[in-house]
Amino acid sequence: MITYALYFLSIVLVYQIYNSIDAPIEFNKVKNERYQKVIERLKDIRNAQVAFKSVNGIYSDNFDSLVNFIETGQFTIIEKRDSSYIQYDRVYRIDMLREVVVVDTLGFVSVQDSLFKNDNRYKDLALVPIDGVDEKFSINADIIDKNGYNVPVFEVKVSKDVILFDQNKDLLMQEKETVSVDGVNGPALVLGSLEDVSTNGNWPTTFDVDRK
């Protein structure tokens, strides 16, 4: 009887040792794969927000207006060229050369064609792209004062609890407390800021490597 008990305990011990080694490896694999998907979506959102601001002067604070802008918005194609002309100066009573910059409008290009070509993935910008997750990114925009100037800012984020909803809770708790140059710090993946002028994300550059 004792032999069977020891045998059972040894199996449990081996499993616990294996699980303590294997669980973090599997967690990190799933985490990195999901983070990459979320970050690619956040990059699309950033491109759309930058385009929105270039046309409207502010950032969008909701995904409906952002998607509508992508579908209906246009960039103005301009050409700047130096020019000059002779103008009589009444003070000096002589003809003087005046130099100016002439801006010509050459045409317009669709925001959708410019950013997404024939891809309609922009229609799902609001959705967190993880299987089994039915959640949307949080999006906010504001105007803040920076050195006496009113500056548009925006922030888009999603909690790590949402991204890693089905993973080991202890490892998830550790991940939410990450403070590292090689990791995603804090409890969420965040793009932009409502306090600083930034369109950057809080992820390390390893996630910006072109993956084809």
Torsion of Cα atoms, 126 then 35 then 205 then 145, to 10°: 40
10-residue mean pLDDT series, the chain (212 residues): 57 55 90 97 97 96 97 78 77 79 72 92 97 97 95 98 96 94 95 97 87 49
Q: Three-class SS string for the chain?
A: CHHHHHHHHHHHHHHHHHHHHHHHHHHHHHHHHHHHHHHHHHHHHHHHHHHHHHHHCCCCCCHHHHHHHHHHCEEEEEEEEEEEEEEEECCCCEEEEEEEEEEEEEEEEEHHHHHHCCCCHHHHCCECCCCCCCCECEEEEEEEEECCEEEEEEEEEEEHHHHCCCCCHHHHHHHHCCCCCCCCCCCEEEEEECCCCCCCECCCHHHHCCCC
At 175, which amino acid appears? E
pLDDT score at 98: 80
Cα 57 from Cα 153, distance rounded (Å)? 11
pLDDT score at 15: 52
Rg (CA), the chain: 27
pLDDT score at 20: 61
Domain boundary assignment for the chain: 31-73+112-208, 75-108
Contact assessment for residue 161 and residue 186, using Cβ atoms and an 8 Å cutoff: no
pTM of the entire predicted model: 0.80
